[in-house]
Amino acid sequence: MADIAIAQLSEWKGVRGKIAFSEPMSTYTSLKVGGPADLYFAPVDAEDLAEILTLCQKRGIEWLPFGGGCNLLVTGKGIRGAVIHLKHLILSGASGGVLDALRQWELFPGEEIRLRLSAALALPRLLNLALERGWGGVEFLAGIPGTVGGAVAMNAGTRLGEFGDVVESVEILAVEGRFIHLPAEDLFFSYRHCELPAGSAVISAEISLYAHPDPREMRAKTAEYMQYRRESQPLSKPNCGSVFKNPPGYKAGALIEECGLKGQRIGDAQISDLHGNFIVNLGEAKSEDVLALIELAKGVVCRELKIELEEEVRIVGEK
Ligand SMILES: Cc1cc2nc3c(=O)[nH]c(=O)nc-3n(C[C@H](O)[C@H](O)[C@H](O)COP(=O)(O)OP(=O)(O)OC[C@H]3O[C@@H](n4cnc5c(N)ncnc54)[C@H](O)[C@@H]3O)c2cc1C
């Protein structure tokens, strides 16, 4: 695949963002594991993305949207096809509101607090913006890394709320190169899931927030919650957040702990001894070590507790 793409390199010269071949995905995943992607593109804006997708379609190259890499486990063999890294995408132009200097968000005029966000906007930046301005609605993002695009695709959240709760609509680039506006109802947000059309990329999302009646209290509560997460999650080591979804009525981490699996290690991958639903990279972990730990946890929990665990982390790449 990479050879074909290199042979046709002249075709890609209209692309303005970074292009690379055999790019190691371990550089971009929060777990710091993952083999190479045949092709890697980091488009700078929606037009650049459209150019890339058209070329991929013409060449029959499959592609995967990639945001902050905080919920992705890339196999050791890596990704056959293209990774489109949507971490630098800026908003193409103002849609009647005021764009911020970095063109990552736009505030619409009016009583309501309505924002258009670039898919590339970092979730901690969105949270900080809301806390600074006294806007309520996204406090649940405290401690969740990644991008707006990834938060839409995953319906990121906690028991305090989910991204789908604030989304009004999204703009996507569909696989055939068309820009489409979709209202939130068409996305059928559910627990860590959203129904985006196959092969599409989120370019931007419109969200609604509200003027919090007590911003100071909001900031204090969010800081408290962040502190709780710092104490209960292994944030000093590379990880990908919760590995498993919580089965209805249970907490995946508690089930793993009950089976005595905390601290289990394969190679340099370890089920965190702090939180059973986290796998950490102790240094040189390989994707295969992480996958083996996932299979181990699923097998033991199923055998001992008769409960099926389902991965929350998205496993991608050649098996
Ligand atoms: C320490 C830590 C704590 C975490 N805590 C939480 C938590 O409390 N709650 C929670 O829900 N998650 C949590 N996560 C997981 C992760 O932060 C979220 O799932 C986040 O939304 C992922 O965003 P991302 O940009 O990194 O997506 P990625 O990991 O890059 O991608 C995730 C999925 O989204 C798709 N995707 C990404 N961008 C786009 C786009 N623009 N268009 C279309 N599809 C796209 C990818 O193809 C992939 O399928 C945590 C992760 C870490 C490391």
Alpha helix positions (H), the chain? 2-7, 46-59, 123-133, 148-154, 215-232, 252-258, 287-305
- Which residue has its alpha carbon closest to ligand 1 atom 43? 201
Q: Return the CATH architecture of domain 98-217.
A: 2-Layer Sandwich (3.30)
Give the span between the Cα atoms of 243 and 296, in whole angstroms.
Answer: 13
25-39, 168-182, 263-277: least confidently modelled range: 168-182
Mean pLDDT score of the chain, rounded to an integer?
A: 94
CATH 3.30.465.10 domain range(s) in the chain: 98-217
CATH 3.30.43.10 domain range(s) in the chain: 2-85
Report which ligand 1 atom has the smallest distance to the Cα of 201: 42
What was the pLDDT predicted at 66? Answer: 97
- Do residues 117 and 148 make contact, with C-beta atoms less than 8 angstroms apart? yes
Phi, psi of 220 (to 5 degrees): -65, -45
Give the span between the Cα atoms of 96 and 99, in whole angstroms.
Answer: 9
Largest CA distance in the chain: 60
Give the span between the Cα atoms of 60 and 99, in whole angstroms.
Answer: 36
Q: Is position 312 annotated as part of the catalytic site? A: yes
From ligand 1's centre to the CA of 244, what distance in Å? 13
What was the pLDDT predicted at 175? Answer: 83
- Asked whether 157 lines ligand 1 (CB < 6 A), one says yes
Q: Half-sphere exposure of 228 toward its Cβ, with a 13 Å CA cutoff?
A: 9
- In sequence order, the β-bridge partners of residue 169 are 183, 206
Q: Is position 216 annotated as part of the catalytic site? A: no
Q: Does residue 263 have a pLDDT over 60?
A: yes
Parallel, antiparallel, or unpaired for β 63-66 and 314-316?
A: unpaired
Q: Does residue 23 have a pLDDT over 80?
A: yes
What was the pLDDT predicted at 266? Answer: 98
Q: Does residue 3 have a pLDDT over 60?
A: no
Nearest C-alpha neighbor of 131 from the set 141, 121, 144: 141
- Asked whether 64 lines ligand 1 (CB < 6 A), one says yes
- Asked whether 287 lines ligand 1 (CB < 6 A), one says no
CATH 3.90.78.10 domain range(s) in the chain: 234-316
Q: At what angle do helices 215-232 and 123-133 cross, to 10 degrees?
A: 150
Per-residue model confidence as pLDDT tens digits over 104-140: 999 999 989 999 999 999 999 999 999 999 999 999 9
What was the pLDDT predicted at 304? Answer: 98
Q: Does residue 9 have a pLDDT over 80?
A: no
| Most ligand 1 atoms within 8 A of CB, residue of 27, 71, 200 to mutate | 71
The phi-psi region of residue 78 (left if phi > 0; otherwise alpha if psi is between -120 and 50; otherwise beta) is: left
What was the pLDDT predicted at 1? Answer: 53
Phi, psi of 53 (to 5 degrees): -65, -40
Q: Return the CATH architecture of domain 234-316.
A: Alpha-Beta Complex (3.90)
Q: Is position 192 annotated as part of the catalytic site? A: yes
- Do residues 131 and 142 make contact, with C-beta atoms less than 8 angstroms apart? no
- Asked whether 151 lines ligand 1 (CB < 6 A), one says yes
Q: Does residue 216 have a pLDDT over 60?
A: yes
Among residues of the chain, what percentage have pLDDT more than 90? 87
From ligand 1's centre to the CA of 69, what distance in Å? 7
From ligand 1's centre to the CA of 6, what distance in Å? 30
Nearest C-alpha neighbor of 38 from the set 72, 5, 71: 5
What was the pLDDT predicted at 176? Answer: 79
- Catalytic residue, candidates 139, 162, 192, 206: 192
From ligand 1's centre to the CA of 192, what distance in Å? 9
What was the pLDDT predicted at 28? Answer: 98
- In sequence order, the β-bridge partners of residue 39 are 21, 82
What was the pLDDT predicted at 7? Answer: 46
Give the span between the Cα atoms of 215 and 282, in whole angstroms.
Answer: 39
Mean pLDDT computed over 264-286:
98
State the residue for tokens 């990279």: 281
Per-residue model confidence as pLDDT tens digits over 228-256: 999 999 999 999 999 999 999 999 999 99
Give the span between the Cα atoms of 279 and 253, in whole angstroms.
Answer: 11
What was the pLDDT predicted at 24? Answer: 98
What was the pLDDT predicted at 13? Answer: 77
Is the domain spanning 2-85 CATH 3.30.43.10? The answer is yes
